[in-house]
């Protein structure tokens, strides 16, 4: 008679599976709560202590770490020496292991979990049995996922045993499983130890979906989810529309990254990972109108996200243009009905909860990985200093902070133009700052904006050329993170033009160059903020 050792934390579909194994003449060995569950179902089961001749001790910490368990799993059945040693030590074969470890990840995600609770949910015996069985998969079937129960039963019924091909596949899954399990524990303990720069990192993600293709049709792609957190495409729910693409996910992620920087009602539109329109208002409809007015051309085929529920009026207006995705915390019932009449539009909800946003971001490079903290910094007026003679108005100050929030998410070199709580020009990804400024300024001019414009830059001005160019297009206030050795040139140009610039006291966004945090701040530039 073959023997299966069954000890699982996830007991989904376990009893039907065990019944099938018993019908196929397997003897069931089990431990703790799993054994009780099998007994309560009226099925025959042997306790692990009957196999080892040793009691479960230390509150279950030690029960399967025994030669009669691991010898039964690891012995090579075509090796006479192993067989002789098994006989001499009264060890019997274990032909199958069905194990999934203690739910460490689920435990640490619970509110109020203590460090002691987390430690007790680090499984030692379970992963050890999985590894032993997987190593010896030539002879032993190992199952760590209830999704594989049917396959195992069907093959045993058909062949008398699982196939080597299946055992190899299951073994590969098993080694991925403990690796992910250990990585989660390592990340948790690293955080507890307050290590920010460990000598190595192991990342773990679970497959969310296969994608039709990647950035280009010839590239294969999949989407994997990490730990659950707010403002996350990995944990967003699709309610309607066609399947997401690789590029959709990247653009939607960029959209949510902008949204999370705003507390007031905001609507953000993104194309090719850059904002093409951002608007704030007293309600979501007003924010939408400002977002749409920002760039009525580029928003076509874009991705839109809000930080408040979408109402019927807003839905009607969104429906009138072609949008790829609309992301919101929720949709009013009527709003959803309106938008879902469009067959292909993706309607998605996401979680606003940011409690888990204190995490790292990773960017792959060839042969390596860059890691840094997520940029959750939100600049305030207290972080800024007027450095020109002219003082900005309160309205200008509000638009300057708004512009800098958006500029943070524009690819450098980046220039953002703002007026009346909406973007009116965005210059992104240019090789020089003048080129980025010119793109944004021409966009604003073509839209009819010629005065009272706020300009935000993601880095300092090494020359006064951007200031002089901005003056020609009706810019009346500038915010930028100073730090150039030639800051005074730009400040003088602002003073000559009567433009107030601000300098902020903390680094902002993706600026390239030195930050001026520790440098004395020059005085006399009114609407220009330097960070």
Q: Are 174 and 98 in contact (CB under 8 A)?
A: no
Question: Which class is domain 2-192?
Answer: alpha beta
Q: What is the 3-state secondary structure (H, E, C) of 174-243?
A: HHHHHHHHHHHHHHHHHHHCCCCCCCCCCCCCEEEEEECCCCCCCCCEEEEECCCCCCCHHHCEEEECCC
Q: Which of 134-143, 146-155, 234-243, 356-365 has the lowest mean pLDDT?
A: 356-365
pLDDT of residue 529: 37
**22-45 per-position pLDDT tens digit:** 999 999 999 888 999 999 999 999
Residues 6+ apart with CB under 8 A from 415: 407, 425, 426, 427, 433, 436, 437, 439, 440, 441, 455, 456, 457, 466
Is 409 a known active-site residue?
Answer: no
Question: Binning pLDDT at 50, 70 and 90, where does residue 284 land?
Answer: very high
Q: What are phi and psi of 399, to 5 degrees?
A: -70, -30
How many CA atoms lie within 13 Å of 300's alpha carbon, on the beta-carbon side? 3
pLDDT of 516 > 70? The answer is no
pLDDT of residue 468: 83
pLDDT of residue 509: 30
Is 240 a known active-site residue?
Answer: no
Average pLDDT of the chain is 85
pLDDT, mean of residues 420-444: 91
**CATH 3.40.50.300 applies to domain 232-349:** no
pLDDT of residue 519: 30
**486-496 per-position pLDDT tens digit:** 777 777 777 77
pLDDT greater at residue 112 or residue 299: 299
pLDDT of residue 502: 58
pLDDT of 56 > 70? The answer is yes
Burial class, 163, CB count within 10 angstroms (exposed 0-12 / middle 13-18 / buried 19+):
middle
Report the C-alpha gap between 476 and 269 in whole angstroms.
26
User: Regarding the domain delimited by 381-529, which CATH topology (the fold level of the hierarchy) does it fall under?
Assistant: Cytidine Deaminase; domain 2 (3.40.140)
Report the C-alpha gap between 178 and 517 in whole angstroms.
45
Closest residue by Cα to residue 402 from 351, 442, 453, 439 = 453
Q: Are 472 and 427 in contact (CB under 8 A)?
A: no
Specify the residue for token string 């470890």: 101
pLDDT of residue 500: 67
Pairing mode of beta strands 96-100, 274-280? unpaired
Q: Encoding tokens for residue 21?
A: 């194994």
Q: Euclidean distance between the first and final Cα of the chain, in Å? A: 74
pLDDT of 511 > 60? The answer is no
pLDDT greater at residue 105 or residue 339: 339
What residues does CATH 3.40.50.1380 cover in the chain?
2-192
Report, in this order, helix, strand and coil percent for the chain, each rounded to 5. Answer: 40, 20, 40
Q: What are phi and psi of 343, to 5 degrees?
A: -60, -45
Q: Which of 203-212, 244-253, 459-468 has the highest mean pLDDT?
A: 244-253
pLDDT of residue 152: 94
What residues does CATH 3.40.140.20 cover in the chain?
232-349, 381-529
pLDDT of 530 > 50? The answer is no
Q: Encoding tokens for residue 331?
A: 């949709």
List 2, 19, 82, 135, catalytic entry: 135
- Write the CA distances from 452 to 234, 400, 444, 495, integer angstroms: 40, 12, 11, 16
Cis omega (within 30 of 0) for bond into 50: no
Neighbours of 495 (CB within 10 A): 20
List 82, 208, 240, 272, catalytic entry: 272
pLDDT of residue 153: 95
Report the C-alpha gap between 221 and 227 in whole angstroms.
20
pLDDT, mean of residues 460-483: 82
pTM of the model: 0.77
Report the C-alpha gap between 172 and 10 in whole angstroms.
20
């Amino acid at each position: 008679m073959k023997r299966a050792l069954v000890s699982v934390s996830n007991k989904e579909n376990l009893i039907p599976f065990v019944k099938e194994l018993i019908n196929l003449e397997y003897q069931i060995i089990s431990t703790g709560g799993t054994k009780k569950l099998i007994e309560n179902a009226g099925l025959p089961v042997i306790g692990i202590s009957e196999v080892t001749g040793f009691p479960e001790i230390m509150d279950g910490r030690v029960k399967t770490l025994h030669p009669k368990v691991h010898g039964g799993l690891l012995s090579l059945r075509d090796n006479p020496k192993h067989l002789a040693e098994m006989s001499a030590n009264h060890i019997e074969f274990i032909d199958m292991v069905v194990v999934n470890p203690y739910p460490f990840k689920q435990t640490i995600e619970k509110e109020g979990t203590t460090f002691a609770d987390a430690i007790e949910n680090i499984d030692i015996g379970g992963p050890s049995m999985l590894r032993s069985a997987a190593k010896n998969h030539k002879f032993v079937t190992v199952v760590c996922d209830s999704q594989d129960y049917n396959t195992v039963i069907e093959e045993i019924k058909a062949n008398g045993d699982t196939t080597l091909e299946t055992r190899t596949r299951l073994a590969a899954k098993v080694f991925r499983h403990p690796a992910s399990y250990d990585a989660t524990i390592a990340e948790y303990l690293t955080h507890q130890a307050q290590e920010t720069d460990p000598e190595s990192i192991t990342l773990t993600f679970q497959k969310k979906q296969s994608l039709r293709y990647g950035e280009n049709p010839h590239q294969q792609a999949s989407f994997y989810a990490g730990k659950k957190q707010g403002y996350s495409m990995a944990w967003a729910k699709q309610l309607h529309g066609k399947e997401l693409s690789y590029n959709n996910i990247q653009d939607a992620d960029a959209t949510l990254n902008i949204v999370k920087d705003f507390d007031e009602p905001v609507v953000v539109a993104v194309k090719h990972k850059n904002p093409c329109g951002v608007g704030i208002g007293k309600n979501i409809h007003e924010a939408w109108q400002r977002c749409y007015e920002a760039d009525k051309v580029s928003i076509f085929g874009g991705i839109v996200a809000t930080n408040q529920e979408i109402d019927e009026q807003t839905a009607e207006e969104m429906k009138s243009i072609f949008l790829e995705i609309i992301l919101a915390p929720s949709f009013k019932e009527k709003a959803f009905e309106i938008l879902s009449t469009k067959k292909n539009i993706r309607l998605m909800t996401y979680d606003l909860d940011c409690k888990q946003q204190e995490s790292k971001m990773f960017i792959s490079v060839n042969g390596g990985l860059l890691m840094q903290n997520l940029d959750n910094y939100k600049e305030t007026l207290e972080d800024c200093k007027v450095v020109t003679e002219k003082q900005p108005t309160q309205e200008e100050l509000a638009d300057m902070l708004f512009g800098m929030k958006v500029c943070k998410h524009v690819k450098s070199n980046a220039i953002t133009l703002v007026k009346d709580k909406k973007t009116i020009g965005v210059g992104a990804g240019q090789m020089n700052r003048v080129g980025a400024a010119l793109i944004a300024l021409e966009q604003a001019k073509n839209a009819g904006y010629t005065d009272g414009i706020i300009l935000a830059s993601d880095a300092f001005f090494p020359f006064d050329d951007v200031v002089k160019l901005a003056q020609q297009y009706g810019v009346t206030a500038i915010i930028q993170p100073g730090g150039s050795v030639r800051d005074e040139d730009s400040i003088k140009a602002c003073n000559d033009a009567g433009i107030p610039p601000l300098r902020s006291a903390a680094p902002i966004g993706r600026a390239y160059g030195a930050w001026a945090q520790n440098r004395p701040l020059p005085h006399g530039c009114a609407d220009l903020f330097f960070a």
